[in-house]
Amino acid sequence: MDKFLKRKTMVGESSSSQRISNNQDTVQPETKKKFLDVDLRNLPADPGIRPKISEYHPNIRDEIRRAYLQKGPCQPRKHNFPQRKFGNTMRHFNPEWFTEFGNWLEYSISKDAIYCLCCYLMKTESGEQGSGDAFIVGGFTNWKKKERLGVHIGGPNSSHNQAWANCEALMKQDRHIEVALAKQSDQIKREYRIQLIAVVDCIRFLLRQGLAFRGHDESNNSTNQGNFLELLKFLCVHNETIDRACKNARKNVKLTSPDIQKDIVCAAASETTCSIINDLGNDLFAILVDESRDISVKEQMAVVLRYVDKKGEVIERFLSLVHVSDTSATSLKIALDSLFVKYGLSFSRIRGQGYDGASNMRGEFNGLKSLILKENQSAFYVHYFAHQLQLALVAVAKKQVEIASLFNLVATLTNVVGASCKRRDILREKHANVIREGLENGEISSGRGLNQEITLKRSGDTRWGSHYSTLLRLVSMFSSVVEVLEIIEEDGMNSEQRAEAHSLLCSMQYFEFIFNLHLMRKVLGITHELSQALQRNDQDIVNTMSLVKVSKTRLQLLRDNEWDTLLEEVFGFWRSRRKLPQVSNLHHFQVEIFYQVIDWQLKELNDRFSEINTELLICVACLSPRDSFSSFDKKKLVQLAKLYPHDFSSVELLALDAQLENYILDMRSDSDFDELTSIGELSKKLVKTRKHIVYPLVYLLVKLALILPVATATVERTFSAMNIIKNKLRNRMGDE
């Protein structure tokens, strides 16, 4: 907290902002040279792709130099360095050089070359220096000539040492702020700190709630200055210390200015991301990627990390939103490369990939998946199971014409009945009367949370759980919906509305509509539980496979044993509303609709979930602790380890064989592990009992199994948060 406040004290006193525009005219060059625009928070980290310092405006070059020096040299120590051929020998960059030349040596992933940070920032024109511009422009790649690094450093007056001295002098300039603060009285510093803490607390609250900061009118005469200023005023009213500090603040202290607000927001984001990266450490992880357009029609790619923390718990953390103007697979890979370099991550540590197969960018994601697999064969791809289920349901609707027609009719019905507030009010009133009559007749039970006010709900194409909810409400409110349509048919504003209502009434009262409505309610009811479960971020693969099996079994039971039950429900529903019809073509409904819908549903589930038959997931299932580790199979677990050659050497595979024998005997004899049902619970229990230290290779297998992504919940929630924060009223918000 002190480090954070110290950083913001410097920002508050200097009133500086990192959003610097290059349209400054303090320095007038002789020629109209165009300089690069710059955002100090997103400077290129890779030394091989960043522009020369001379390409930036002279007025901001020191700010850029200071930003690079604060970040430090780009040193991806965990990167899988490629090899080059030198004569008959293959060589690659030695990461130990980072330790020996740590204050200036940089490595470029894109160029596979090394550079000098201080020479890039401060290279002088005088003085002799070995290696010329190789460490600045082209990059040095002669890995067998380590002595050239010493030549580059040179003597006391070399260009390198002069550049390093200039870097140190530049960073010492910040000390004048501390000197100025030291001259102030303790009272002024204490009040400044109180005001700063109050401002930070207000910003943290607004960030936590996803609320806007600024107001339409923030002048002193405004009755509502916006959330930030009003919240700060509220704190002042209820805290005399904060109120006194704000009133006594110097006029040049601009802690409430929009620029300082944004600086503190960026600092909060930076601290949060650093906390996530520190929690991950050097461990293995999976990436979950999805895309969506924001309110300003920008394609945003969300990146989430999935890993197992120090407590053995599966963690999914949102890392960043990346604006991708070009959505080709190569561009997505470059965007991920830049993101990984920025946060010091490496593709060699990826052990799982997950993408949205229902996305309109699924082709590009398939290309991205292949590019990552080419770089790291252990980055196994697992399709999002929740989206596979949705795709299966979509396929059923498209194949069966009657079912597709049902959903089209329900969508039209929802739009017509909910077209105006008046119609919605009539529907609520009619349904309330039905409930009241049912309660009076004893047909409906009363109780807390029962019989609440509902209305028809529009279904969404990307979340098929909403279709199930819509069908449930339509069945419950069927008679009320019919009455509303009859009112529209008689009192519609024009002939088109009356004709549409009449057409819907006729369609709704056909036996075919009632039958299809109840059939799909049952089918979607069976898969609804699985869909909801798969959208939680705590599902592991073994539980997922079990849930899929349950859904398949229930569908098969529906097909084999429940035709008569369904028919009774349909006739009972019909009988309560009108005279029972004479249906002469029940064979058509049974064979061509009932059987076909369920058969296609089962086939689609089998096709979409074909991954569960692969070697990877079959081996993972052997880790399940359910029923006293009844699925344990040592051969399959050793085979699972062989799928990760970067994590298990040939020697470790031999050690794993013996370790598994001890592990299974220990687990089955320890009562602490008797009631476990999932791999996630097993992981936490191993850490809690410290047996992850006793069986490190087995625990690594457990972590690798848990890392594989099976749900999209975290990525989807990212876009939900984005739509709350960046909405129609705030559609000019920047990507950062």
The DSSP result for 465-478, as a single string, is HHHHHHHHHHHHTH
Report yes or no on 634 lying in a domain.
yes
CA–CA separation, 136 and 139 (whole Å) = 6
The count of structural domains within the chain is 4
Do residue 241 and residue 132 come from a single domain? no
Of 265, 294, 327, which closes a domain? 265
Q: Is 212 helix (H, G, I), strand (E, B) or coil?
A: coil
Do residue 595 and residue 634 come from a single domain? no
Do residue 166 and residue 155 come from a single domain? yes
Nearest to 341 by CA among 78, 682, 694, 5: 78
Of 594, 610, 626, which closes a domain? 610
Task: Count Cα neighbours of 380 within 13 Å in the Cβ-side half-sphere.
Answer: 21
Range of the domain at 250: 177-265
Task: Count Cα neighbours of 723 within 13 Å in the Cβ-side half-sphere.
Answer: 9
Do residue 598 and residue 699 come from a single domain? no
Do residue 446 and residue 587 come from a single domain? yes
Strands 314-323 and 83-86: unpaired
Under a CB-based contact definition with an 8 Å cutoff, are residues 122 and 65 in contact?
Answer: yes
Q: What are the distances in angstroms from CA 601 to CA 526, 527, 561, 594? A: 11, 10, 17, 11
- For 48-179, where are the E strands, in sequence order? 83-86, 89-92, 105-108, 113-116
Q: Take residue 498 and report the two structure tokens written for it.
A: 């009356």
Rounded to 5 degrees, what are φ and ψ at 55?
-85, -5
Tally DSSP H helices, then E strands, for the chain: 32, 8
CA–CA separation, 60 and 233 (whole Å) = 36
Sequence-ordered alpha helix ranges (H) in 562-625: 563-575, 586-587, 596-608, 615-621
Report yes or no on 76 lying in a domain.
yes
Nearest to 394 by CA among 455, 446, 467: 467
Do residue 579 and residue 674 come from a single domain? no
Q: What are the distances in angstroms from CA 610 to CA 71, 363, 388, 527, 554? A: 46, 19, 10, 17, 19
Report yes or no on 518 lying in a domain.
yes
Find the farthest-apart pair of alpha carbons in the chain and give their distance in angstroms, rounded: 104
Nearest to 408 by CA among 524, 527, 516, 569: 516
Q: What are the distances in angstroms from CA 355 to CA 542, 617, 644? A: 20, 18, 21
Report yes or no on 362 lying in a domain.
no
Do residue 449 and residue 577 come from a single domain? yes
Place of tokens 């090394």: 114
Residue 5: other Cβ atoms inside 10 A: 15
Under a CB-based contact definition with an 8 Å cutoff, are residues 573 and 514 in contact?
Answer: yes
Strands 350-355 and 285-293: parallel
Under a CB-based contact definition with an 8 Å cutoff, are residues 264 and 18 in contact?
Answer: no
Q: Take residue 312 and report the two structure tokens written for it.
A: 């053995």
The residue type at 91: R
CA–CA separation, 573 and 509 (whole Å) = 11
Do residue 520 and residue 553 come from a single domain? yes
CA–CA separation, 179 and 190 (whole Å) = 16
Report yes or no on 694 lying in a domain.
yes
Of 265, 296, 316, which closes a domain? 265
Report yes or no on 31 lying in a domain.
no
What is the chain's alpha carbon radius of gyration, rounded to the nearest angstrom?
33
Divide the 736 residues of the chain into consecutive groups of 10 and give the mean pLDDT of each group.
45 40 43 73 87 86 89 89 88 90 90 92 58 77 89 87 87 60 72 92 90 83 89 92 86 82 89 92 89 72 90 90 79 87 90 67 66 84 62 68 86 81 76 64 50 55 66 84 85 82 86 89 82 61 72 91 90 67 76 88 73 66 88 91 90 93 94 89 94 94 87 67 70 65
Sign of CA dihedral 198, 200, 201, 206: positive
pLDDT of residue 507: 87
Do residue 453 and residue 577 come from a single domain? yes
CA angle 644, 645, 651 (to 5 degrees): 120
Do residue 655 and residue 514 come from a single domain? no
pLDDT of residue 735: 62
Do residue 243 and residue 183 come from a single domain? yes
pLDDT of residue 182: 62
pLDDT of residue 12: 43
Map 45-60 to HEC letters.
Answer: CCCCCCCCHHHCCHHH
pLDDT of residue 541: 60
Nearest to 576 by CA among 479, 451, 506: 479
Q: Take residue 484 and report the two structure tokens written for it.
A: 């509303």
Report yes or no on 333 lying in a domain.
no
Report yes or no on 144 lying in a domain.
yes
Do residue 211 and residue 73 come from a single domain? no
Q: Is 90 helix (H, G, I), strand (E, B) or coil?
A: strand
**Predicted structure pTM score:** 0.61
